[in-house]
Amino acid sequence: MTRAADASGNGARIPVALSSASVYPLAVHDAFAVAADLGYDGVEVMVTNNQDSQDPDALRNLRERYQQPIVAIHAPTLLLTQQVWGKAWNKIVMSAAMAAEVGAATVVVHPPFRWQSGYAENFPEGIRNIMEDFGVTIAVENMYPWKVRGRETKAYLPHWDPRPLDYQHVTWDFSHAASAGVDSLAEIKLLGDRLSHVHLTDGFHTSWDDHLVPGHGQQPCAESLQHLGSSGWPGIVVAEVSTRKARGAGEREEWLGETLDFARRHLGLGAAARPAETRPRRT
């Protein structure tokens, strides 16, 4: 997507988009509506069982209706979407093809599961080839160790952590970092140019993947965004906050509005410019 200059004129502004996962269990249509209402810069589409999330024509229609660019496609590589788009490689190919069709520059994928033989062993080379075929970036997301009865079990191959592996592009998720007990600021600095995409959220090391509003957990979200905002980072920040426990649409929009304000404030962009009546506050 085209970047605008920030309010101070200091170069390009880092866009802040909304993941459709942030309105789950509502549909992808609702994500576009909320993003437009709150003043986000675009939408990341999580491919799920929702038919619109799988349909390039439907997504283009939503993009035009709500004037919200589609900044990324999140491939259906979660356990909950194992039945979507068939076999593992087909999920990546179809996600890349759809990204190219709807104008999304990035495809977010999870590391392979250990039981996905063939796919897992050839994953780094395979995603490089698909990137070349479709002209999109495929960014592998950091995950976290699974534990069964208090002991770590090896769920991913070769690992849940993309940092030491041969991936050209990485998506950094703060909630996953919290679950793994990893310091996001330190790791974002170490990733350098390999960091292509960010999922903004928060969490606690003692919990299981909370996806909290940033600033409500233990991760250095503010400091990490300040680093990205001051370093000329060329990627996109995507709010991926769980609102499943929100009490209705008002509280959902409150949480997502707070997330947008947090992101823009710490990226050095100022608060989100939205009419006061669309910015409900906690009482």
pLDDT above 70 covers what percent of the chain? 88
- In this prediction the pTM is 0.89
276 assigned to some structural domain: no
Helix segments in the chain, DSSP class H:
28-38, 56-66, 88-102, 123-134, 174-180, 184-191, 221-230, 248-266
pLDDT of 13-29, one tens digit each? Answer: 899 999 999 999 999 99
**Owning domain of residue 173:** 16-269
28-38 vs 56-66: helix axis angle to the nearest 10? 20
| Confidence at residue 208, expressed as pLDDT on a 0 to 100 scale | 75
pLDDT of 65-110, one tens digit each? Answer: 999 999 999 999 877 787 888 898 999 999 999 999 999 999 999 9
Q: Mind giving me the DSSP string for 250-283?
A: HHHHHHHHHHHHHHHHHTTS-S----GGG-----
| Confidence at residue 148, expressed as pLDDT on a 0 to 100 scale | 62
275 assigned to some structural domain: no
CATH at residue 263: 3.20.20.150
pLDDT > 50? residue 278 = no
Cα 216 to Cα 184: distance, rounded to the nearest angstrom: 15
| Confidence at residue 266, expressed as pLDDT on a 0 to 100 scale | 97
| Confidence at residue 34, expressed as pLDDT on a 0 to 100 scale | 97
Cα 181 to Cα 165: distance, rounded to the nearest angstrom: 19
- Enumerate the β-bridge partners of residue 44: 19, 72
pLDDT > 80? residue 56 = yes
Place of tokens 């033989």: 117
211 assigned to some structural domain: yes
146 assigned to some structural domain: yes
95 assigned to some structural domain: yes
87 assigned to some structural domain: yes
Q: Mind giving me the DSSP string for 92-137?
A: HHHHHHHHHHHT--EEEEPPPBTT-TTTTTTHHHHHHHHHHHHT-E
Cα 95 to Cα 91: distance, rounded to the nearest angstrom: 6
152 assigned to some structural domain: yes
Q: What is the mean pLDDT of residues 49-57?
A: 95
Model confidence at 227, pLDDT cuts 50, 70, 90, reads very high
Model confidence at 275, pLDDT cuts 50, 70, 90, reads very low
Cα 205 to Cα 262: distance, rounded to the nearest angstrom: 21
How high is the mean pLDDT of the chain? 88
Place of tokens 């007990």: 181
Q: Which residues contact 242 (CB under 8 A, 6 or more apart)?
A: 21, 22, 24, 201, 210, 211, 212
Q: Which amino acid is at 140?
A: V
pLDDT > 70? residue 265 = yes
Tell me if 71 sits within 8 A of 93, measured CB to CB.
Answer: no
- Give me the number of domains the chain comprises: 1
4 assigned to some structural domain: no
Tell me if 73 sits within 8 A of 81, measured CB to CB.
Answer: no
| Confidence at residue 17, expressed as pLDDT on a 0 to 100 scale | 98
Cα 231 to Cα 80: distance, rounded to the nearest angstrom: 36
pLDDT of 123-167, one tens digit each? Answer: 999 999 999 999 999 999 999 887 665 666 677 778 788 888 889
| Confidence at residue 165, expressed as pLDDT on a 0 to 100 scale | 84
